[in-house]
Amino acid sequence: MEELLENTPLVKLVYTSLKDIVGAFVGEKKKFNRPVLVALTKGGDVATIGFVTRNGLTELGLADHVAVYVPQAYNIGGNVVVVPSDRVTPLDADPAKVMTFIVSGGVTGELGETTD
């Protein structure tokens, strides 16, 4: 069945994307296991939440930077931002709950109260 899904053009794109995302949370090589708060401004007044995917981007000449994946709400996509490591603060929270919070636009998840 998996071979059929991976060889059907449009289905392959959706199937492999979903498989990779699920594997990122429950597979042996969890990828989104380091939730962080990323300061977008020097003062830290504006921030976003994401997941560190790489430390020290030496191959790009950015040894003091990290790559952070920032998922988009209500979407399968997201963005990778490269920021100085001093603008990243680790979050002491369950990665799956953080992802649920982000993807739902901040209205779902057990991270805090919602506004009505």
Question: Which domains are seen in the chain, by residue range?
Answer: 1-31 (no CATH), 32-108 (2.30.30)
Contact between 32 and 100 (Cβ < 8 Å): no
At 29-49, the pLDDT tens digits run 666 789 999 999 888 899 999
At 81-102, the pLDDT tens digits run 999 999 999 999 988 888 888 8
Residue 81 burial (C-beta neighbours within 10 Å; 0-12, 13-18, 19+): middle
Query: Higher confidence at residue 24 or residue 12?
Result: 12
Alpha carbon distance 9, 3 (integer Å):
12
| C-alpha neighbours within 13 Å on the C-beta side of residue 55 | 5
